Amino acid sequence: MNELPQRAAHRFAASLRERYGDALVDVQLFGSCARGEMREDSDVDVAVVLQVVDWRTKKDVIDLASEIGLEHDVLLSPTVLDRRTFERWRAQERLLVMDIQREGLPL
C-alpha cells in the first residue's frame, strides 16, 4: 500500500478509537489496498465493527471517513457493522466477512 492511503487509513482508525473507545471492536483494512493491488482510482476499504450501530453511528463514521479522506485526497470506504451482525455473518460464511478475515490488516 502506498504512503498516502496508509496514512489516511491509520488516521481514520485512530480517530475512531478516540471517538468510540471501548465500543470499537475492530478496524481492518481490506480489499485491493490490503492485497497490494491498489490502483490510482481504487478506494480504501475499511471494516469498522462496533458494539452497537444505528443510522446515526453509520452516518458519523461515514462523515469521519469523508473528512479524513478529503484531507488526504483518498476515498475511504467504511463498511460499518455491529458486533452481532459481524459474528452472525461469520457463522453464515458470508463473502464480505470471509474477505475481511482472509485479507484484513488490523489498523
pLDDT confidence of residue 1: 52
pTM of the model: 0.93
**Alpha carbons 76 and 43: distance in angstroms, whole number:** 6
Q: Which range marks the domain in which residue 101 is found?
A: 3-106
Q: The cell 462523515 sits on which residue?
A: 63
Query: pLDDT by residue (tens digit) across 32-84?
Result: 999 989 888 889 999 999 999 999 999 999 999 999 999 999 999 999 999 99
pLDDT confidence of residue 40: 83
Give me the CATH number covering residue 26: 3.30.460.10
Q: Which ranges in 21-82 belong to alpha helices (H)?
A: 32-35, 55-72
Domains identified in the chain, total number: 1
Q: Are 82 and 54 in contact (CB under 8 A)?
A: no
| Host H or E run for residue 46 | strand 44-50
